[in-house]
Every structure is written in C-alpha cells, then in structure tokens.
Amino acid sequence: MKSWLCFLVPAVLLAADPEAVERLFDGKLTALQRATACLELRGKADPEVINALSRAMEDPDLLSCAADNLQRIGAIEPLKHALGSESFQVRAAAARELGTLQRPELLEVLGRAAQDENMLVAINALAGLTQYQGAAVVPYLTALARKGGITGDMALDRLWQLDPDMALNIARSLLASTQVADLLYAMRIIGASGDSSDLPQLKKIAAANPETLTQRDRGFGFMPAINLSRAAQSAMESIQARSK
C-alpha cells in the first residue's frame, strides 16, 4: 500500500511506542495481542503510526481498530485511499469512518461510495451522508434517490427531511418503478406531501394490485403482508383528508 508519510494530519503529534508498531504486524502474536497493540496506538498521529494503521486496515483482525484510530486523529487521506481497496470490508470501514467526520470536502467521495456495487459499502457511505445537515448534501442524496433501490430509497427518506419538494418530485417519478420498495417509499411521501394531481396514478396502482383474502395472512410473524393497493389507498386518503 502507498506510504502516507507525506500526509499532514490535523492533530497533535504524539510519540508512538515503536514496539507497539512492531507488534502490530508480528505474525507470532495472537490476533488479540496485535489488536491490543493497535489500541495502544490510539491517539498517536506521527507519520510512522499513520503508515502502519493504513497497512493494518487490510488485516481483518485489525481493520476496525485501525480505521477507528485513523478517524480519531483526522487522517482523511489514508481513509479515502482505503475506499479503493479490493476488499469490500475495508471500503465499508473507510466509508463509515469518513462519514462520522461530516466534513464538506468529503461529500463527493461519500456520494461515490454510496453507489458502490457492494451493499455494505453503499449503506455505510449513505449513513455518513445522512448525518450532514443543510443544502450541501441535497445534490448527493438526490442523485442516489433518483436511482431507487435500497440505498436510493433510504436516501429519498432523508431527502424528504431536507428538501420536501425535491423528494416529492422524485417520489412521483418512482411510481413508474417495478420495485415494490420504491413504490412503497414513493407512496408514503406522496401521501404526506402530494396533492390531488397524484390521485389518478395512485388509483391505477390500487386497481392493478387488488388485495386478496390470502394476502392478509402472508405476513411473517408480526410483519404485515406488503400490499401495494393498501398503500395506494392510504396515500389517497391522506391527500383527500388534507384537501378538506
């Protein structure tokens, strides 16, 4: 992995125990002993430690500790570099830690990571995006929401809190989706924020997905069965109630 000795870290440089760095990669030690060495390096921000923690992220036994250590000292560049790892676990950990920093300059990299082919990476990055407040994050949530899918629907939910009008427009477009989750998220937002112009499309969905007696018993445990007709009817009732 590329050396990070050249990176400047916005933290007070604390001297690290050279032995702790050595124990980090000592194959003769147990995973617990090496993890203990990683914990001993917490808060240390000298270049040797940053370089070692960057390497340690590729070790499954040290990944979580190393990523957390880097986040605590604000070592952004190593974490950004880790988003390009071949390991989805490494990418996911990096996205999670970068998201907690809530820095405006990280919005773009988190937005890209939220479109990762691996769902764990994408969700971790989206979780970071949802922690941002204000208009700066809206374009990134919008781009994700337009695509639908699990992360898109979650992004739409957060977008609704920040920019209801944009969320409503996207929700309306998602009514053409073939994915049940997209439709459910869309109809929930339309029911809460839509108007009478949405009723015709909702009526079509309700008519095309009639509830049957058997559907009432298809829930798992306490989870009710998913029924698009019922969701469409609920959205229409909400809209009509507001118009009275």
What are the tens digits of pLDDT across the range 178-196?
Answer: 999 999 999 999 999 999 9
Residue 12: left (phi > 0), alpha (psi -120 to 50), or beta?
Answer: beta
pLDDT > 90 in the chain, percent: 82
Q: What is the pLDDT of residue 110?
A: 97
Residue 235 lies in a domain: yes
Residue 226 lies in a domain: yes
Q: What is the pLDDT of residue 243?
A: 82
Owning domain of residue 161? 134-244
Asked if 183 and 173 touch (Cβ cutoff 8 Å), the reply is no
Please check the confidence at residue 143 and state whether its pLDDT lies above 80.
yes
Residue 44 lies in a domain: no
Residue 217 lies in a domain: yes
Asked if 229 and 209 touch (Cβ cutoff 8 Å), the reply is yes
How do residues 206-238 score in pLDDT, each as one tens digit? Answer: 998 765 433 444 444 444 456 899 999 999 999
Please give the mean pLDDT across all residues of the chain.
89
Q: What is the pLDDT of residue 124?
A: 97
User: How many separate domains does the chain show?
Assistant: 1
Higher pLDDT, 227 or 83: 83
Residues 6+ apart with CB under 8 A from 116: 88, 91, 95, 122, 125
Residue 152 lies in a domain: yes
Residue 103 lies in a domain: no
Q: What is the pLDDT of residue 225?
A: 55
**Cα–Cα distance measured from residue 150 to residue 212, given in angstroms and rounded to the nearest whole number:** 27
Name the pLDDT band for 11 (thresholds 50, 70, 90): very low
Residue 18 lies in a domain: no
Q: Can you give the pTM of this predicted structure? A: 0.82
Residue 2 lies in a domain: no
